[in-house]
Structure 1
């Protein structure tokens, strides 16, 4: 049994200098756990609510003092002095205090860091690393990192409908080599962008390079050039996070693409052409977060890749159940702050695993140095994970985590994803 002796909370900053909630938990055994609540830039409407103060005089309305108060004034009195045997016991208490589906009363950004801090405190009590505490069996593999090297959106040079263009060092023999491959490819891109466009490369919203073209095909071709320039031809695959909800118009039910607007059928047809020309390991969020028919169409048509749901599923077991029933996805992006507690995240993971689906752990664009998704990736033994661009501190730390883990786990090896790929 774990007895919580103190719960403290404060406002700190994420990697984009936006306020977020940080929580610290201490137990009567002298254990300590700390966690913060990251936030994405592309946030699905079905995610747990991020409670902000909305006071324009304080961080332009983004401060989180109300959520901090909910931790110290509402949550803490119900936890301090009480015994909790398991993570589920603690998380059930948090869910009972809020009482809403979207954590709209206390805020997902108040509940989530409490859940993660407790996980870390219990691991400390057990004398285990957090990923060991999470593990369901032997730890034998290190997940392959996926690098978001080019960012879409409305950039200086182009309006690129797809959000993330990703390189996957599928042919790496070790985690050290996989990291070096991602870094070396990334280093080749600015020179290629400047040579192709005549303009210096700029930094995108998620710290990759801003897409210099509106045509996704041209961006993928540029990435192929970078792979060749780095000397890794035949050893690297690609992936896409379309984040299509960002470019969807609900009135016309159309998506922005290549300067025009297309319906779901045309968008899936275009993606099918890309998968036939490029080795794409997965395509994430190819349709809007509520376009279930479009997702089902994508699963039927994109047979050379995997269709994953992020905004579609938001780490929510109920939405995953629907995706399974409608064959609307072949995996989901595991972002525990989307749902709000560790237990709910693991329940969704277990459901996916039982149904032969992938879970792709991912940080958020407004990330943190010490991100629990890394422990989840390793502890749950996923084959690959999203690590972001190899540029900013919290993203570099994710890579360092994997390289340390390879040394901490004797006999471990890099996951072999070539056998999983459909291209």
Structure 2
């Protein structure tokens, strides 16, 4: 197929945390239009593609992206005009070559990725089909099980909860509508459980889940289990964790913060093993520091009741996924295309993982946008589950509506059956 790019426009918009982001619009000869905007994370791996910001303290405290917009219009635009919008690899490789750095430092990973999404969407628009059908190469048969970040860890006034995200996974159904209802019901009731424990309503955390009430992960998981049981969903909703342990790692002592104390990698793995023997975990993400390869290999061996995922360790990077496979460091990875900076590189990482028995879990970022292309990845690649965030803010609710719409518009489609993947 052939449809040439005829124009590229860009501007600054804001994400769900009111931080500036680059939005790129690409138009083709046939009149097709594609929009793309790169989300950004709060927990960011050191090997992720560079996010180009202006650094002007007088504008959004240095976070504005006017420089990135200028580079999209004046450098990327002229290079892409005339290219075939269906040749995604050629488009992405052209931008990578224009940048010329390993981490996309010159043009910005956010700039390149926004243009990459815009081209991808314009190609689907040119075919007049949803992007997820363009990715799937036809009709879809499943939509992924959404995983909900209901309690957020981090640094609070009187304590630090070392684990970043406590998640629920509603898998005991074949209906996406029922899975969403189950999760929303438990999330709302969890507020009541937390209120009873705290003596007041829980705070809303920065990622829109409930603020952690304690530095003890087991206590938090017990309250989550109580909410699940009281809603009648025992055995139908399980747990997941995103530890984001690089945030709590001290390189000088090679220790992690856990319940107010510094512990070794081995001690952290041993503690989490006890959690997995008490609670049923679908997956545990970023259990260790992004450079603790030996620790990850040990975790895979010593935590047989859950799937070990890399995020900061793997950053959707093909070379890092190859290493992870060779060293048996993870069972799968969190697919965040903006980490690597182009659609093509993200797809190459996915295909390598799929070919080598590794699970890919698409995820939005904390600084999300309403039309996050990661949803098209989730549905088009027909993955088992995805990370969705808390069912509270607009762009996260839209992700749930996206799944329900895609399912309703695809005859014979159902929720992915993840039971064969569960290890508990």
TM-score (norm 2): 0.98
Q: 1:156: Cα distance to partner?
A: 4.0
Aligned to 2:278: 277
Residue in 1 that maps onto 2:413:
412
Write the distance in 2 (CA, Å) between the matches of 1:413 and 1:230: 23
Alpha-carbon contact 1:170-1:235 (below 8 Å) kept:
yes
After TM superposition, the structure 1 = structure 2 runs for residues 229-308 of structure 1, keeping only pairs within 5 Å, are 229-308=230-309
**1:85 Cα deviation from its structure 2 partner:** 4.4
Does residue 4 in structure 1 map to residue 23 in structure 2? no
Measured in 2, the distance between the counterparts of 1:216 and 1:115 equals: 39
Q: How many residues align?
A: 423
Cα offset, 1:105, TM superposition: 0.7
The whole-number CA distance in structure 2 between the counterparts of 1:234 and 1:66 is 51
SS of corresponding position for 1:227:
helix
Deviation track 1:258-303 (CA, whole Å, cap 9, x = no partner) reads 1100010000001100011100000000000111011111111010
The structural deviation recorded for 1:142 is 1.2
CA distance in 2, matches of 1:314, 1:68: 24
Out of 131-140 and 398-407, give the one that drifted further. 131-140
Which residues of 2 match residues 312-391 of structure 1 at below 5 A? 312-391=313-392
Does 1:56 find its partner at 2:61?
no
Shift of residue 99, structure 1, vs aligned partner: 1.2
Moved more, 225-234 or 30-39: 225-234
Q: Which runs of 4+ in 1 moved over 6 A?
A: none
Identify if the C-alpha distance between structure 1 residues 382 and 154 changes in structure 2 by more than 3 Å, giving closer, same or farther: same
CA distance in 2, matches of 1:55, 1:223: 43
Q: Is the 8 A contact 1:157 1:212 kept in 2?
A: no
- Tell me, yes or no, if structure 1 residue 123 matches structure 2 residue 100: no
The secondary structure found in structure 1 opposite 2:195 is helix
5+ residue gaps, structure 1, are: none
Contiguous gaps of at least 5 residues in structure 2: none
Counterpart secondary structure, 1:267: helix
Q: 1:44 — aligned with what?
A: 45
Deviations 1:233-261 (A, max 9, x none): 12111000000000000111100001100
Deviations 1:350-405 (A, max 9, x none): 00000101000000000000011110011101011011000000000000000001
Taking structure 1 as reference, are residues 36 and 85 closer, same or farther at Cα in structure 2, changes over 3 Å only?
A: closer
**How far did 1:86 drift?**
1.3
> Any residues of structure 2 matched to 1:73-84 within 5 Å, and which?
73-84=74-85
Partner-residue secondary structure (3-state), 2:421: coil
Shift of 1:155: 2.2
Q: State the alpha-carbon separation in 2 of the partners of residues 82 and 194 from structure 1.
A: 57
Q: Which residue of the partner structure matches residue 152 of structure 1?
A: 153
Q: Aligned-residue CA RMSD in angstroms?
A: 1.0
User: How many angstroms apart in 2 are the aligned matches of 1:367 and 1:155?
Assistant: 23
CA deviation after TM superposition for structure 1 residue 136, in Å? 4.7
Deviations 1:309-361 (A, max 9, x none): 00000000000000001110110000000000000000000000001010000
Measure the CA separation in 1 of the matches of 2:84 and 2:213: 55
Range with greater deviation from structure 2 (152-161 or 60-69): 152-161
Contact 2:85 2:119 in 1 (8 A): no
Q: 1:157 to 1:416 in 2, by over 3 A?
A: farther
